[in-house]
Amino acid sequence: MKIPVAFMGLILFSVLAFAADVDGTWEGMITVTGSEVPVRWTFKADGDKLTGSVSQAGSPQFPIKDGKIDGKSISFVLPIEYQGMSMQVNYKGVVSQNEIKLTGEVQGQTFEYTVKKVK
Q: Calculate the average pLDDT of the chain.
A: 85
Count of beta carbons in the 10 Å neighbourhood of residue 72: 15
What is the per-residue pLDDT for 19?
54
SS3 per residue for 70-87: ECCEEEEEEEEEECCEEE
Assess contact for 64 and 84: CB atoms under 8 A: no
Alpha-carbon distance values, 86 to 41, 54, 78, 82 (Å): 21, 17, 11, 7
CATH architecture of the region 5-117: Beta Barrel (2.40)
d(CA 52, CA 41): 7
pTM value is 0.80
| Residues 52-91: tens digit of each pLDDT | 999 987 788 999 999 999 999 999 999 988 788 899 999 9
SS (H, E, C) 27-73: EEEEEECCEEEEEEEEEEEECCEEEEEEEECCCCCEECEEEEEECCE
Is the pLDDT at 24 greater than 50, yes or no? yes
Instruction: Note the pLDDT of residue 9.
Output: 39
Residue that wins the pLDDT comparison between 10 and 61: 61
pLDDT at 16 over 70: no
Is the predicted pLDDT of residue 8 greater than 50, yes or no? no
